[in-house]
């Protein structure tokens, strides 16, 4: 057995050497033959890397927001779609969540939230498109944004609905406030608010959304006092990411009980947790990556047809050579193996060149700021897949020409002109 294996090794190297010599003797034709493989592999590498980088970036954005986050908002159930429903009918009552933490052990913090875009005035300076966020004190813990100067809203501010505000440094600069603006007053929606603190900038600017926006934050109780019909949603945080599904179930059970909705009825609200959105996105992104990879891999099959075509031409050109080798005792397996190795070498060389070009495309995409694909990278599995597929194409599409060469009759081959 060992002698047979040792006897095969020189035959293997000899076949590879003959295949490489044939490729070198027809260098230009070999290059043109592998173009389809090169393009296919480069396309697979570039597409997979770009999609993987995009997926990684989105996941990083989700992680920045916090995968323990939950959201609940009023929603019109399907059974009421054909009826006229006002926002007031489905809106959350202001005191709906006052005792929620007693019944939701998986929830560590909550806040009512509503956002509007307002014009804010300080003295003679007006700043438009300012995001005004009305919150409860738990908002700081959930969003991990704290006061850097001054103080957060006190219990008295919240209970009495005092007209106090927090501003970010962007709004501070645009309004021309003092370096220490505590105590200065700004006008929001025709109402005067006293600045009590400076808030940290957003950390969860999803894909740059409002990354450089001016913000003012006020107690939601202050807004509800001036407008009892304020429409808001719930923002909460679970005690951990793993506890988010339980927290969502507990919030839904609590809201059903407080709003008188039986387990068999459609709720007039929705509860979502970010971890479920992350899982859905990962599944969707994986499906898109698989489909895109399959589509661009079609070009590899086209390249394989080109390999088969050129190998058939090579068999026709070397018919007399094949006949002579068989006449002097060459085994058909040796002929088959030589042509098969030649096809595999063509495809694998094309695959390596395609991988290099694909990697270059990925570096180019990552260097273009407008695309925001700095997280694009070439995963190892994409390289192995491309290289393995290239070799498989060589075997599959090289097999028929190799079999044809191995089956040639030596007499007929020697007579071939």
Band of the pLDDT at 137, cuts 50, 70, 90?
very high
Domain-embedded: residue 70: no
Under 8 Å between Cβ of 79 and 261: no
Average pLDDT, the chain: 82
> 233 has which bridge partners?
113
Give the pLDDT band of residue 25 (cuts 50, 70, 90).
confident
Range of the domain at 177: 76-267
Residues 133 and 262 both lie in one domain? yes
At residue 223, the pLDDT reads: 94
Query: Residue 221: inside a domain, yes or no?
Result: yes
The tally of domains found in the chain comes to: 2
pLDDT bracket for residue 175 (50, 70, 90): very high
Same domain as 182, residue 242: yes
Which of these, 299, 297, 241, 274, lies nearest to 58 by C-alpha position?
Answer: 274
80 and 158 inside one domain: yes
What secondary structure does DSSP assign to 98-145, as a single string? TTGGGT-TTEEEEEEEEEEEEEEEETTEEEEEEEEEEE-THHHHHHT-
207: how many CB neighbours lie within 10 A of its CB?
A: 9
| pTM of the full structure | 0.63
In a domain, 408, yes or no: yes
Look at residue 384 and tell me if it is in a domain. Answer: yes
Tokens 């509860």 locate to: 271
> Residues 148, 124: one domain?
yes
**Are residues 298 and 250 both part of a single domain?**
no
Q: Is residue 7 part of a domain?
A: no
Domain boundary among 243, 267, 291: 267
- CB-side exposure of 122: number of CA atoms within 13 Å? 20
Q: Which residue has the higher pLDDT, 47 or 136?
A: 136
Whether 123 and 228 share a structural domain? yes
Does a structural domain hold residue 71? no
- The b-or-e profile of 181-198 (16+ CB within 10 A means b, else e) is beebebebeeeebebbbb
The pLDDT tens digits for 284-339 are 877 887 887 777 777 777 777 777 777 777 777 777 777 777 777 667 777 777 77
- What dihedral do alpha carbons 26, 27, 30, 31 form, nearest 10°? -160
The answer on 285 and 368 residing in a single domain is yes
210-220: pLDDT as tens digits: 456 899 999 99
Q: Do residue 127 and residue 179 come from a single domain?
A: yes
Is 364 found in the same domain as 319? yes
Among the three residues 267, 291, 324, which one is the final residue of a domain in this structure? 267
Look at residues 201, 236, 267 and tell me which one is the last residue of a structural domain: 267
What is the per-residue pLDDT for 397?
A: 78
Which run of H or of E encompasses 27?
helix 27-65
């Amino acid at each position: 057995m060992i002698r047979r294996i040792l006897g095969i090794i020189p035959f293997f190297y000899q076949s590879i050497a003959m295949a490489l010599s044939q490729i070198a003797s027809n260098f230009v034709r070999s290059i043109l033959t592998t173009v389809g493989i090169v393009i296919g592999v480069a396309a697979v590498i570039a597409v997979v890397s770009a999609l993987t980088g995009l997926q990684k970036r989105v996941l990083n954005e989700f992680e920045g927001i916090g995968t323990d986050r939950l959201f609940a908002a009023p929603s019109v159930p399907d059974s009421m779609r054909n009826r006229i429903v006002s926002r007031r009918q489905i809106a959350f009552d202001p005191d709906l969540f006052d005792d929620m933490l007693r019944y939701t052990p998986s929830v560590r913090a909550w806040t009512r939230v509503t956002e509007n875009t307002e014009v804010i005035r300080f003295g003679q300076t007006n700043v438009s498109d300012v995001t005004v966020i009305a919150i409860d004190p738990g908002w700081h813990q959930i969003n991990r944004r704290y006061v850097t100067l001054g103080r957060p809203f006190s219990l008295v501010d919240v209970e009495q609905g005092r007209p106090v505000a927090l501003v970010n440094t962007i709004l501070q600069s645009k309004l021309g406030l003092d370096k220490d603006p505590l105590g200065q007053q700004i006008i929001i929606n025709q109402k005067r608010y006293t600045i009590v603190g400076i808030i940290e900038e957003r950390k969860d600017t999803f894909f740059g959304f409002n990354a450089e926006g001016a913000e003012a934050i006020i107690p939601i109780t202050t807004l509800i006092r001036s407008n009892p019909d304020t429409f808001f949603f719930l923002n909460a945080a679970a005690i951990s990411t793993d506890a988010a599904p339980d927290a969502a179930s507990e919030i839904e059970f609590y809201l059903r009980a407080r709003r008188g909705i039986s387990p068999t009825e459609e709720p007039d609200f929705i509860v979502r947790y970010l971890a479920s959105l992350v899982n859905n996105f990962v599944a969707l992104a994986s499906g898109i990556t698989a489909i895109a990879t399959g589509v661009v891999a079609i070009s590899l099959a086209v390249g394989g047809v080109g390999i088969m075509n050129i190998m058939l031409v090579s068999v026709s050109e070397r018919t007399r050579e094949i006949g002579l080798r068989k006449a002097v005792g060459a085994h058909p397996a040796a002929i088959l193996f030589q042509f098969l190795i030649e096809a595999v070498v063509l495809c694998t060389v094309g695959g390596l060149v395609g991988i290099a070009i694909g990697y270059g495309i990925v570096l180019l995409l990552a260097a273009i700021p407008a695309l925001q694909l700095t997280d694009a990278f070439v995963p190892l599995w994409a390289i192995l897949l491309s290289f393995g597929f290239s070799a498989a194409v060589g075997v599959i599409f090289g097999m028929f020409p190799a079999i044809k060469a191995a089956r040639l009759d030596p007499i007929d081959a020697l007579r071939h002109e």
